[in-house]
Amino acid sequence: MIDDSLSWFSEDDIDVKNIISIKNLHGYVIPHASTKYTGKIISHTLQFKPFKKFDNIYIVYLPIYDKKNVRERYYHEYYVPYMSLKYCMKKYWNIKRKIKFIPIDLKNNKNKNKLKISNSLIILSVDFSHNLPLQQALKLEDKASHSLMFQNLEDNEYNRIIDHKHIFEYLYDNLIDKYQFQWIGRTRSPGLKGVGYLSFLLRKNNDKKNIDGY
């Protein structure tokens, strides 16, 4: 049996530098495509280490396939963030205690009512535009990103590129209004019509130190 997990995650793709511990960091939005394409943006995002102590990591995702497609044990939407965080915590964050990973599968309603942020990180597994020319994708992603930061998920052209906006709807339904997203990264898969990958920090207030914009 071929180990298809190797096509989704490789430690060689993750290279975190300049670890920065910041307060009021409670989670991330990171992509779920193969780390061959997303390793750099995941590394860039995970250089921001939560100052708070946490014991759980929730990964919220919405599978595209009916069956688990990584070693018949995982959906790739869960597997890529899971392995990236697991590897980063051990190698770069120097966390030696046991951390519990809790999958929240919105398609199959797994652990859907368990979200608690007090001693946890929340990971949203999300890609953005698919199979669009670069300039069109950038315009739509810009609008979608600002829409997310203002918790506006109405059905329109730019919000439809979010894969998938139900993940954000779930978060907004379960968190109070004091939390917001800080957009920090963007990249794209190769090709004329690629896939857009954006990343965000989930933070509790407007701590504007060392931040150029929201």
- Under the banding of pLDDT at 50, 70 and 90, the label for residue 206 is low
Ramachandran class of 191: left when φ > 0, alpha when ψ lies in -120 to 50, beta otherwise: left
The percentage of the chain sitting over the pLDDT mark of 70, rounded to a whole number, equals 92
- Under the banding of pLDDT at 50, 70 and 90, the label for residue 175 is confident
DSSP the chain: ---GGGGT--GGG----S-EEETTEEEEEE--S-HHHHHHHHHHHTTEEESS--SEEEEEE--SSSS--BTTTB-HHHHHHHHHHHHHHHHTS---S--EEEEEETTTTBTTT----TTEEEEEE-B--EEEEHHHHHHHHHHHHHHHHTT---SSTTGGGSBTHHHHHHHHHHS-TT-EEEEEEEEE-SSTEEEEEEEEEEESS---TT----
Residue with tokens 């670890």: 19
Statement: residue 141 has pLDDT above 90: yes
Mean pLDDT of 111-140: 90
